[in-house]
A and B are shown apart, each in its own frame.
Chain A
Amino acid sequence: MTEEALKGNALKIDHTTPDRGWMDPAVEFRKGTYCYPASVKHMNYLGLPNPREWQPYDQDWKLPKNWKSILLEGMKDRLKRYRSYKLFLDICVRCGACADKCHFFIGSGDPKNMPVLRTELLRSIYRRYFTLSGKIFGKLTGARELTEDVVKEWFYYFYQCTECRRCSVFCPYGIDTCEMTMMARELLSLIGCNINWIVEPASNCFRTGNHLGVPPHAFKSTVDFAIDEIKEITGIEISVPINRKGAEILFISPSADYFGNPHWYTFLGYLMLFHEIGLDYTWSTYASEGGNFGLFHSADLAKRLNAKIYSEAKRLGVKWILGGECGHMWRVLHQYMDTLNGPADFLMEPVSPVTGTHFENAKSTKMVHICEFTADLIQNKKLRLDPSRNKKWKVTYHDSCNTSRGMGFFEEPRYILKQVCQEFYEMPENTIRERTFCCGSGAGLGADENMEMRLRGGLPRANAVRYVQQQYGVNLLTCICAIDKASFPPLLEYWAPGVEVAGIHELVGNALVMKGEKERIADLRGEPFEQKEENGHV
């Protein structure tokens, strides 16, 4: 076969110096590969520096006159503030272990998408201006001058990293390339180089409490609409508490859940579950967003947007917080919230009111993931489930980058799926769990204008989905990340047509046998069940 034929035969690579080495920062901004810059309106709303009209393909980016000193001061400041930043700049030995681990590199073949080389774009400037050897020997030590072309190159490549951290799993030094991207984006923001797909949601969130800019009365109308849909499906009229003081639990989910598709069905699943177990909880119209696009911009903006969660928990007087299906939301909640806006000493260690389980893992943040909560309910046999209602689905599960690599969260979603579905198939081992491939649209890159880049980045994940589709007939990719739910449908339409996307609590909602429900004839999508339901089990 071809594989065998290749053994022992070298690729004919031209080893002469290429026309352009990696130090050449020139970048071509081709349509489909970059995101639009942030709008003046939203930059102003957040008080970000240098708001202006510009486009990446413009020759003149209208940078501030002293842009260079702003960037170098910004680097200096961050080198003092963040030890990890300095450490990661210094210790990389360029072993190349990360080189072929990035989904953007695998999908694009662009060498500057090798994590080591992408970081070198930043590291070369650090060497030139902050190390003695770089100052003296310049290029010989891999140091580069900071020029406008370097700024453009940073903008191009650091907005091609989804901060998924797959590369860091393979780094023998544990260098977190995601943090390097975070630093580069912070620096770019200092001179007004932001993308709109991050700044607009962040601005909306600051204004209305959620990324989509849904005001409180629209949120209430949406909930009422969901109540009507659930009544139509189950015959049960549920109540959904909003801004209720004194509730035991505050529930927060990404705003896409009550606006986006297919997120909406996950939203219905939450509401049905909470009704069924009689949960004493409330939604909030102020903390109406679990996600945090500030994370993709700067630590300061992440902190500003995150503050509303503890603030609202305090105002409403709840005991602890439950969070919905989201990816980066959980990275902030799990890894940063405690230090950004904690300690939450006014809250209690979360305890399930139904099972009595203490969520000791959330002792510090006081916030529990809904999959942990639901898995515990199922484990303690508190839910009546009929997996046959999901019989049309052959299911696989995508580990979202942030919940898997950011939280080590692998088993609960799989446990739930195996209880609510009849057929579950794993994708190949080297593409799941901590080695999961990103959807290619995270960290603020899920815009429409960069669709080609997203398709490149999504290739490794979609390739594994295609495999289980061909091997086992998988027709549903489940995930617990709002960005995944939004980004996979177009991705799979291209790479693996025929595979749909759903959240886990949509399938929970389908399988949940509710007390007093009428005979269900359709699933949460309104699609009729193929055959009469079989008896449920407890």
Chain B
Amino acid sequence: MTPTSPKGLGPLLIQNRKPILERWLHLILETYPVDTAPLLKKEKDPFLNPVRSTIAREIEILFEELLHDMNGERLSTSLSSILKIRSVQDFPPSEAAGIALLLKKAVQEILETDPQKETDYEEWARFHVKVDALALRAFDIYMECREKICEIKVNKALAEKEMAFKMLERVGFRKEKSHRGKDSDG
């Protein structure tokens, strides 16, 4: 194959994997405030900068799955790692869960200048459908995270109520209550 001969979209994505992932990561980091994004980029230690390292690690997996089988479990696990973080940060739902759609922009920007690209409409459409499916799955997971936060709050309230009842029990409250109950029944 000569350097100028056209390739399908799949091989192009594989060939440009690194720059696409890099651009996708940057597009996600650019959703953070202007004063924050450079610091997020600078620190590479996964324990000192879990936001960046988690996103960088997980989008690699997402990209692999997009190129291959779209394994539901792997996609969910990776999306969950990212969206757990973004669903507690100051993002509106569209922006928190919209990370998948940024991949379209990254791919478009990187492949725009590739001389080997071809404009096979069907291939592009299939790719877009996959990314859209990823985006919808991301929104499901975002909702799961938000529901989990709600569940944690409810569980905490219930645990506090339980603690209070235990305390009352220790000081004899239940005994008195059942005694009153008997009186009223009688």
A341 at the interface (CB under 8 A from B): no
Size of B's binding interface in residues, CB under 8 A: 51
Q: Check A110/B163 contact, CB under 8 A, given A11-B30, A218-B170, A448-B157.
A: no
Contact: A494 with B47, CB < 8 Å?
no
Contact: A13 with B49, CB < 8 Å?
no
**Which residues B148-186 have CB closer than 8 A to chain A?**
148-149, 152-153, 155-157, 159, 163, 167, 170-172
A230 to chain B, nearest CB (A): 14
Report Cα–Cα, A260/B49, bound state, in Å: 33
Mark contacts of A426-456 with chain B using CB atoms, 8 A cut-off: 1 yes-contact digit, 0 otherwise.
0010110000000000000000100110011
The number of residue pairs between A and B whose CB atoms lie closer than 8 Å in the complex comes to 135
Name which of A1-9, A403-411, A502-510, A530-538 contacts chain B: A1-9
Contact: A463 with B90, CB < 8 Å?
no
A434 to chain B, nearest CB (A): 15
A59 at the interface (CB under 8 A from B): no
A490 to chain B, nearest CB (A): 5
Please give, as numbers and ranges, the residues of chain B lying within 8 Å of A9 by CB-CB distance: 22, 26
Contact: B51 with A106, CB < 8 Å?
yes
Report Cα–Cα, A460/B51, bound state, in Å: 9
**Which residues A461-507 have CB closer than 8 A to chain B?**
463-464, 467, 490, 493-495
Report Cα–Cα, A451/B151, bound state, in Å: 11
Report Cα–Cα, A214/B47, bound state, in Å: 40
B117 at the interface (CB under 8 A from A): no
**Which residues B24-56 have CB closer than 8 A to chain A?**
25-26, 29-30, 32-51, 54, 56
Mark contacts of B83-99 with chain A using CB atoms, 8 A cut-off: 1 yes-contact digit, 0 otherwise.
01100111000000000
Please give, as numbers and ranges, the residues of chain B lying within 8 Å of A225 by CB-CB distance: 170
Report Cα–Cα, A301/B97, bound state, in Å: 45
Q: Which of A5, A106, A430, A495 contacts B84 (CB 8 A)?
A: A495
B18 at the interface (CB under 8 A from A): yes
Please give, as numbers and ranges, the residues of chain B lying within 8 Å of A99 by CB-CB distance: 39
Q: Check A108/B89 contact, CB under 8 A, given A225-B170, A460-B48.
A: yes
Contact: B172 with A108, CB < 8 Å?
no
Contact: B48 with A2, CB < 8 Å?
no
Report Cα–Cα, A373/B172, bound state, in Å: 35
B contacts with A: majority SS: helix
Contact: A109 with B44, CB < 8 Å?
no
Report Cα–Cα, A386/B6, bound state, in Å: 71
Contact: B60 with A1, CB < 8 Å?
yes
A111 at the interface (CB under 8 A from B): yes
**Which residues B53-97 have CB closer than 8 A to chain A?**
54, 56-57, 59-60, 84-85, 88-90
A150 at the interface (CB under 8 A from B): no
Report Cα–Cα, A44/B29, bound state, in Å: 47
Size of A's binding interface in residues, CB under 8 A: 54
Report Cα–Cα, A106/B37, bound state, in Å: 11
Q: Which of B18, B29, B85, B167 contacts A11 (CB 8 A)?
A: B29
Report Cα–Cα, A151/B51, bound state, in Å: 30
A101 to chain B, nearest CB (A): 8
Please give, as numbers and ranges, the residues of chain A lying within 8 Å of B43 by CB-CB distance: 100
Query: Which residue of chain A lies nearest to B20 when distances are taken between CB atoms in the complex?
Result: A5
Report Cα–Cα, A296/B184, bound state, in Å: 48
Q: Which of B30, B54, B88, B171 contacts A221 (CB 8 A)?
A: B171
A contacts with B: majority SS: helix
Contact: B59 with A2, CB < 8 Å?
yes
Please give, as numbers and ranges, the residues of chain A lying within 8 Å of B48 by CB-CB distance: 100, 106, 430, 460
B102 at the interface (CB under 8 A from A): no
B52 to chain A, nearest CB (A): 10
Query: Which residue of chain B lies nearest to A32 when distances are taken between CB atoms in the complex?
Result: B149
Please give, as numbers and ranges, the residues of chain B lying within 8 Å of A110 by CB-CB distance: 33, 36, 90
Please give, as numbers and ranges, the residues of chain A lying within 8 Å of B59 by CB-CB distance: 2
B32 to chain A, nearest CB (A): 4
Please give, as numbers and ranges, the residues of chain A lying within 8 Å of B42 by CB-CB distance: 100
Please give, as numbers and ranges, the residues of chain B lying within 8 Å of A18 by CB-CB distance: 33-35
Report Cα–Cα, A22/B163, bound state, in Å: 44
A261 at the interface (CB under 8 A from B): yes
A80 at the interface (CB under 8 A from B): no
Please give, as numbers and ranges, the residues of chain A lying within 8 Å of B39 by CB-CB distance: 99-100
Please give, as numbers and ranges, the residues of chain A lying within 8 Å of B148 by CB-CB distance: 494
Q: Which of B30, B156, B163, B170 contacts A490 (CB 8 A)?
A: B156
A491 to chain B, nearest CB (A): 9
Q: Check A217/B47 contact, CB under 8 A, given A12-B30, A100-B39.
A: no
A259 at the interface (CB under 8 A from B): yes
Q: Check A13/B25 contact, CB under 8 A, given A261-B159, A455-B88, A455-B149.
A: no
Please give, as numbers and ranges, the residues of chain A lying within 8 Å of B57 by CB-CB distance: 2
Contact: A428 with B47, CB < 8 Å?
yes
Query: Which residue of chain A lies nearest to B148 when distances are taken between CB atoms in the complex?
Result: A494
Contact: B50 with A460, CB < 8 Å?
yes
Mark contacts of B1-35 with chain A using CB atoms, 8 A cut-off: 1 yes-contact digit, 0 otherwise.
00000000000000000110110011001101111
Please give, as numbers and ranges, the residues of chain A lying within 8 Å of B60 by CB-CB distance: 1-2
A14 at the interface (CB under 8 A from B): yes
Please give, as numbers and ranges, the residues of chain A lying within 8 Å of B88 by CB-CB distance: 107, 452, 455-456, 459
A311 at the interface (CB under 8 A from B): no
Please give, as numbers and ranges, the residues of chain B lying within 8 Å of A459 by CB-CB distance: 50-51, 85, 88
Q: Check A111/B170 contact, CB under 8 A, given A451-B152, A494-B148, A495-B84.
A: no
Report Cα–Cα, A88/B91, bound state, in Å: 33
Q: Check A111/B35 contact, CB under 8 A, given A106-B51, A221-B171, A455-B88.
A: yes
Contact: A111 with B84, CB < 8 Å?
no
Instruction: Jot down 11 A-B pairs with beta carbons below 8 A, ordered by A.
Output: A5-B19, A9-B22, A9-B26, A13-B38, A18-B34, A32-B149, A106-B48, A109-B32, A452-B88, A456-B88, A494-B148
Given contacts A30-B90, A111-B35, 8 further A-B contacts (CB under 8 A): A2-B57, A4-B18, A11-B29, A33-B90, A110-B90, A221-B172, A490-B152, A493-B152
The 6 closest A-B pairs by CB, nearest first: A111-B35, A5-B18, A463-B50, A109-B32, A455-B88, A221-B171
**Hey, which bits of chain A sit against chain B, CB under 8 A?**
1-6, 9, 11-14, 18, 22, 30, 32-33, 99-100, 105-111, 114, 117, 214, 217-218, 221-222, 224-225, 259-261, 428, 430-431, 448, 451-452, 455-456, 459-460, 463-464, 467, 490, 493-495
